Amino acid sequence: MKKNIEKKDPSGRKEKALILLFLLLSGSCGLVYEILWMKMLTLVIGNTVFAVTTVLTAFMGGLALGSFLAGRLVERIKKPLRIYGLLEGGIGIYALLLPLLIAGTEPIFRLVYQGFSPSFYGFGLLRFLVCGLLLLVPTTLMGATLPVLSRFFVNRPDNIGRSIGLLYGTNTFGAVLGCALAGFVLIPALGVTWTIYGAAFVNLAICAGVLKLSMNSVQWPDPAGNKANIKTKKQKKPKKQQQKAPRQSQKRKTDKGTQDLKPDVSPTLVWIVMAAIGLSGLAAMVYQIAWTRVITLAIGSSVYAFSLIVTAFVCGLALGSLAVARFIDRSRYLLPGLAVAQFAIGISALVIAPLLGTLPLFLAKFVFATDQSFIDIHLLEFAVIFVLILVPTLMMGAAVPMAVRICSSDSRRAARLFGSVYALNTLGAIGGSVMAGFCLIPWIGTQNSILVAAALNVLAAGIILFHVPGITLAVRRAGALSIAAIAMLAWLAIPRWDAAVLVSGPFLYSGKYKKIADEKGIELETAMKNKGRLLYFKEGLNALVSVQKSTLGDVSLKINGKTDASAKGGDVATQLMVGHLPLLLHPGARDVLVIGLGSGMTLAAVEKHSVKVVDVVEIEAAVVEASRHFRKFTGDVLSDPRVNLILADGRNHLALTRRQYDVIISEPSNPWIAGMANLFTREFFDSALARLPSGGLMCQWVHAYALSSMDFKTIVRTFQAVFPHTTLWEAAFSGDYLLIGSARELNINPRTLSDRLENERLAADVRKMRANSAAALISKLIMTETAIPEYVAGAPLHTDDNALLEYSAPRALRWHSAAETLAALYAHRQNPLNVLRFESSAPIPPEMARELLDRFAARNDVLAGFTYYKEGAAQDAMERLEHALTICPRDYDATYLLAKLYYRIGNRFRNEKRHNEAGRAYLKSVATTDNFIRATRGSLSDHFELAMSYSRANHYLGTLALGADRLEQAAAAFDKSLSVGVSYAEAHNNRGIVHERKGEYDAALNHYRLAVKLDPNFISAHMNMGNTLLKQKKYQQAITSYYQVRKLRPDFALTNYNLGMVYFEQAQWQKAEAAWEQALALKPDFDQVRQGLKAVRQKMRKP
């Protein structure tokens, strides 16, 4: 008898290993394609959650179909290796053709969008059908690869599980490599097209290699038990008589290793396992989407963040599958094991849920607070994410091979069952994607979605356990009830996430929180939470949207933890100028498009002009709801009959609509956020140009902060490549800039511009823009089309294909200062008098020309002062900024920087106990601001950030006077601090102290109450209020205040001492003793407490 060929021929193992290598590469290509096709299709159908889910569903649906069909047909395949090679070749060829097919769909969508005005759901159905048809062929081929290879690999009943686990794990680990390579190497280095070419080449190479192996390789015994010969080119064909099988009826001889067992799995049990694996796939996708939502709140929403999360998730799946493959065929308890795996997924997901809620705090403490490089930060983030989700993903990865092994004891049917299991698991994932994205997260939130997914896993575990054969019904019921009870207890024990922590945005603001914590001597967690009052919090379809009112009275809009708009802060000038500037430069505009609603302030600016129609495109419905919290500052902008709100992707609308706009305003979020860079590409600007009539204007916002100088130049160069007549304007120094583009040269009538700026409807806005004169507005011009080419020389174009910004912008997020960008920008700055084209019928007035010259001359000193300020050269910065103000006393940026510099110098002296020097610095800060207000004849109410600096400087002047017991001087300083419209809790608290020292208790309480209203976590104000109430003998109110302090800071011994005093004065000896004992436990050397205890015990006649 011949020995088993697989054991005898070592070359067979080598070729098997080579096939596994091909499978690994195939898995890598599959994930690369998924990322690339998602990127390409969302450019055509939009980047909304509906569009993304459509592509994902179409992709996974094809995988499920391919797996199912291959499982049904695979038993008829005699040469599975050859079929596998052809599948890989088909994938590679189609991948090369797909970009052309995707490009061909845009005219179809445009025709339907323009001609039929389809409903939201109707257009969504069209998108799904088109995407499904486009992806049907390659994804079906991809889905068929594993069942076909399992037909080749599985040759004995005792290696079904090992083979399936090895195949599934290898392919999944290939997906890990594909995700990491695509996200961090291939697309950033090669762009989309060349990455597709590379992946297609790999598929075609796999095809060639596998076909060669299929023609000249070892063949393993087939599952039917027939021995396959080693076929080589030199082997002669067996003689005919040798191939004849004997006809007599007898038992077929089989080798021990290849004999199939009798099927012993009931059809009912197979369906139960299949249903459980479908539920598991559904829960897994809910987990992935929900975990991605909450993790990106901690690490940011860049493409790198998404790559990290998917890589960690899929890596866990791969490791789980490979790990279980080692023992799965030897296990006698696979069915209970699958139940345990499902239960472990659910319970571990419940365990990590509260950890995910505190992830922003953890990363702020231990990752972002450190001075790490871009690579180091992402490695640390990956390690944290991987460890967090390791247990549930390991169990998920183990579940599929276990399910196949349970359902198949016959190696001949293993491939068929593998196809069915894989298809059902994928269909479950499709259901999970739809449920999580459209229903669970928007309706019940991310944390509750995780709890629902955990319940599904526990349900699957209970169902499986209830049907384990060989045990009594009573035991099954007890086991199922125990699982349910444990899960319920775990569910109830989970603490709720803190919304303030979730929206804290540590990926951007951890340095700011650490500074606040250090300055105030508080915990980092307190600094992250104590940012004000949360007015709005909603997990929308596309993002988590929140609105927060700060303790200083500013209201800010946050998208996924990043501030995108504010009502009073530095964003105001930019939001207003984005709306006003293009319409001031194009006074005849009638039809306007605004991309991005945000707070509604830009829309409010547009509405103040004589426009006829304003289309506003906003991608997230929750932002529309959130904008209502800004009505106090913007008015009810959406109720204007001229406004048409469109909930869609702005780029997609621009590409598909036939409408022409006189002005298009694009104010998206930062390009480091995944998907936002699509609004800075040449193709996007081409779409905008196509929608502009002759003389129309495009206004594009771009930021200089947290963006490299080269990336900034790239945006400018790309914009000018489409709009030959481009001008660059400064909206906020060192922060925000505007590109104004047109097909015609800009032509300005200075007198008309002056008249329009003096319009009463615009007066308040132009003051906040720091542009209350035509000269002030025109001076914001940085350069025109004549200087831009030299400025952007060497910068690449940003296109959909190279995706430069999406991958380069995140690298500058925490590692770049605006100083470099400004230095390059100002080196090419042009004098507006020399480069702007003014109408010959309205020459520029002499006084306007003088102001323009002064403002232009001052800016070099402003830039130099800013640079010195950032470098810490305070003396040099002061000299240059003071010189700028001698040239142009109305320069806001010079005023703000100098006042802020004096204020910081004062803080340094104050911390060093050099109070006289500190006082002089604060006085200079105040005087600098007063001079500006006199020069501009304005009000600090129009300049919130300058007002904050002014208020704080006066406040610290007051604290210095209070420390020296100069009460009248302190009172005057605090009153001045509170006079400029800044809601300053500390100033109210200290003003209350002055009243209290003067015995004016009611006035003191008024200020303390205002302080805690502005800042509910203000410990000192609560304590001072309690002390004042105690002096007024208002004991119960005092107790309430002290208990609030104890809640905020349980370890503060003074609180318990004060509570003891309240009880002592009321002769409540036991309560006084208890309070003082607690104080002494917190601070054993508290002598006043010891004296109090002695006194109260005497009253109680205790020894």
Sheet containing 555-559: order of strands: 533-539, 544-549, 555-559, 562-566
**Do 526 and 632 have their domain in common?**
no
Residue 695's region, left for phi above 0, alpha for psi from -120 to 50, else beta, is left
Q: How far is CA 888 from CA 856, 862, 883, 945, in A?
A: 9, 11, 9, 20
- Residue percentage of the chain with pLDDT more than 90: 64
Query: Among 189, 215, 232, which residue terminates a domain?
Result: 232
Name the band, by pLDDT with cuts 50, 70 and 90, for residue 239: very low
CATH number (domain holding residue 655): 3.40.50.150
Residue 409 pLDDT class (50, 70, 90 cuts)? low
Between residues 567 and 244, which one has the greater pLDDT?
Answer: 567
Residues 441 and 579 in one domain: no
Confidence at 241, pLDDT banded by 50, 70, 90: very low
Tell me, what's the pLDDT at 680?
Answer: 98
Same domain as 584, residue 710: yes
pLDDT at position 155: 65
pLDDT band (50, 70, 90) for residue 529 = confident
Chain-centroid distance of CA 97 in Å reads: 33
Residue 228 confidence (pLDDT): 43
Compute the mean pLDDT over every residue in the chain, rounded to the nearest whole number: 88
Return the closest-CA partner of residue 192 out of 280, 84, 99, 115.
Answer: 99
Tell whether the model's pLDDT for residue 1007 goes beyond 90. Answer: yes
Backbone angles phi, psi at 538, to 5 degrees: -150, 135
Asked whether residue 971 carries a pLDDT value surpassing 60, the answer given is yes
**Residue 227: pLDDT band with limits 50, 70, 90:** very low
1016 part of a folded domain: no
- Per the domain annotation, does 336 fall within a domain? yes
pLDDT, residue 1076, reads: 92
Query: Do residue 611 and residue 733 come from a single domain?
Result: yes
Evaluate whether 136 touches 368 at the Cβ level (below 8 Å): no
Residue 878 falls within a domain, yes or no?
no
Give the pLDDT score at 213: 87
Q: Write out pLDDT tens, residues 937-955.
A: 888 989 999 999 999 999 9
Q: Which one is predicted more confidently, 771 or 814?
A: 771
Diameter of the chain measured on Cα atoms: 120
Residue 331 has pLDDT above 80, yes or no: no
Average pLDDT over residues 83-111: 93
- Asked if 625 and 772 sit in the same domain, the reply is yes
Same domain? For 564 and 525 the reply is no
- Please give the pLDDT value at position 79: 84
Whether the pLDDT of residue 220 is over 60: the answer is no
The sign of the torsion formed by the CA atoms of 676, 680, 683, 687 equals positive
Looking at the structure, tell me whether residues 478 and 362 fall in a common domain.
yes
3-state DSSP assignment of residue 535:
strand
| Residues 524 and 672 occupy one common structural domain | no
Taking residue 326's Cβ as centre, other Cβ atoms within 10 Å add up to 12
How confident is the model at residue 1071, as a pLDDT?
92
**Does one domain contain both 318 and 434?**
yes
- Region 177-186 average pLDDT: 96
| Structure-block tokens of residue 409 | 């004891």
| pLDDT one-digit tens code per residue, 243-281 | 444 444 434 444 433 344 334 567 888 889 999 999 999
Whichever domain contains 311, its CATH number is 1.20.1250
Q: Mean pLDDT check: name the lowest of 231-240, 392-401, 1087-1096.
A: 231-240
Query: Which residue bears the tokens 């003396």?
Result: 875
The answer as to whether 840 is a domain residue is no
What are the angstrom distances between the C-alpha of 816 and each of 42, 737, 804?
Answer: 30, 17, 17
**H or E element at residue 534:** strand 533-539
pLDDT in tens, 143-176: 999 888 887 777 666 677 788 889 999 999 999 9
Residue 1074 lies in a domain: no
Q: Are 101 and 236 in contact (CB under 8 A)?
A: no
Q: What is the mean pLDDT of residues 403-409?
A: 81
Asked whether residue 962 carries a pLDDT value surpassing 90, the answer given is: yes
> What CA–CA distances, in Å, run from 861 to 260, 866, 882, 887, 894?
87, 8, 9, 10, 8
In a domain, 329, yes or no: yes
Higher pLDDT, 89 or 70: 89
Mean pLDDT over 365-378 rounds to: 85
Q: Judge whether residue 184 has pLDDT over 70.
A: yes
Residue 355: count of CB within 10 angstroms of its CB: 12
Examine the pLDDT at 346 and tell me if it is beyond 90.
yes
**What is the model's pLDDT at position 226?**
45
What are the phi and psi torsion angles at 1053 (to 5°)? -65, -35
pLDDT surpasses 80 at 1058 = yes
In this structure, of 297-306, 362-371, 825-834, 875-884, the range with the lowest mean pLDDT score is 362-371
Specify the number of domains making up the chain.
3
| Residue ranges making up the domain that contains 355 | 264-531
- Whether residue 990 is contained in a domain is answered as no
As a whole number, mean pLDDT of residues 467-476 equals: 75
Assigned token pair, 1005 = 């309480």
Last residue of a domain, one of 751, 777, 803: 777
| Residue keyed to tokens 């697309």 | 187
Predicted pLDDT of residue 231 = 45
Distance CA 384, CA 388 (A): 6
Sheet containing strand 643-647, edge to edge, reads 643-647, 613-618, 591-595, 663-666, 697-703, 736-742, 725-732, 781-783
Q: Tell me the pLDDT tens digit for each residue of 293-315.
A: 999 999 999 999 999 999 999 99
Q: Are residues 285 and 397 in the same domain?
A: yes
Token pair in block for residue 636: 């009810």
pLDDT of residue 410: 61
Cα 169 from chain centre:
30
> How many residues does this entry show for the chain?
1103
Mean pLDDT for 24-42 is 95
pLDDT value, residue 491: 75
Per-residue pLDDT band at 896 (split at 50, 70, 90): very high
Are 506 and 562 found together in one domain?
no
What is the rounded distance in angstroms from the CA atom of residue 1030 to the CA atom of residue 1093?
A: 19
pLDDT at 178 over 90: yes
pLDDT at 504: 93
Residue 220 lies in a domain: yes
Dihedral sign (CA 73, 238, 85, 317): positive
Q: Are 744 and 633 within one domain?
A: yes
pLDDT on residue 156 = 63
**Is 535's pLDDT higher than 80?**
yes
Q: What is the DSSP string of 970-1006?
A: HHHHHHHHGGGS---HHHHHHHHHHHHHTT-HHHHHH
